[in-house]
Structure 1
Amino acid sequence: MNSLTPYPLAASNQLLQVLAGCAAGGFPSPAADYYEPPLSLDERLNIRAPHVWLVQVEGDSMRDAGIYDGGLLVVDRSITPIAGHIVLAYVDNQPLVKRLARSPAGWLLESANPDYKTITPDEYGTIEVFGVVTWDLTPHAQ
């Protein structure tokens, strides 16, 4: 039986080591022996920009979009929201993460879980889109 050997940690505490290419979900690729230079996760996610915010998800209304309870979202306020974007919106001053949609009656906020109904214009007084979700960071081991 083969043993599992931990990969050595990166020497730098500021940059992450990056594997070139993609990680296969099936069999290992012999071409995966090449490594790229380190990168900064905050640069890749643009999380130091003043218009970028982080928000923790609570609940499972967006689970079918891969956004789970406890996940951390990167929200960019500089992106103009359009139908189809997942957004952080305030509905009557309550923050929600939903998919933005348009209907003849106005803006809709759709869940990505059939247990939650779509929020329609007749169900809210005001809706303010705070920003567009650009990344979802979901913990898998703690």
Structure 2
Amino acid sequence: MVRGSNVDVCVNLLRKECTCLEWQMTGIPCPHACAAIKLLHGNIYTYVEECYLKSSQEKIYASSMIPIETHDMPDVNNLTLTDWENNIFLIPPTTTRPPGRPCKKRRESQFQDVHVYKCSRCDQSGHNRSKCRNPNPEKI
């Protein structure tokens, strides 16, 4: 019996079952089962379904995946501090943001109507009253 958040859950480690049903559905021990396994000082990986183990994955993908040769790659575990200092590693590019507020990049819709200006003095389109060049328009 494992006490969770406001809920008591029964865990059966021999049958790999928990009353929350998460362990049965996923094949991976739920937090309740992990707590019970930890209480008994057991190894959690022995209670994981076999299909999730690395050995099973290697068997499944052995024919479709070809390993890459790594004969010229340095072994990360055997590198010393001087080796790390002498190697050139990729660093991210330096980017600078321009000062001020970013510009709005508004894209007008192709279906949006274009506003046509019409002068209130001469009733011609293309300009407004302040830009009107007709000296004395005759408005009918």
- Tell me which protein shows more strand as a share of its residues: 1
Tell me the TM-score normalised to structure 1 length. 0.19
Tell me the TM-score normalised to structure 2 length. 0.19
Which structure would you say has the larger Rg? 2
Greater RCO, 1 or 2 (C-alpha within 8 Å, sep 6+): 1
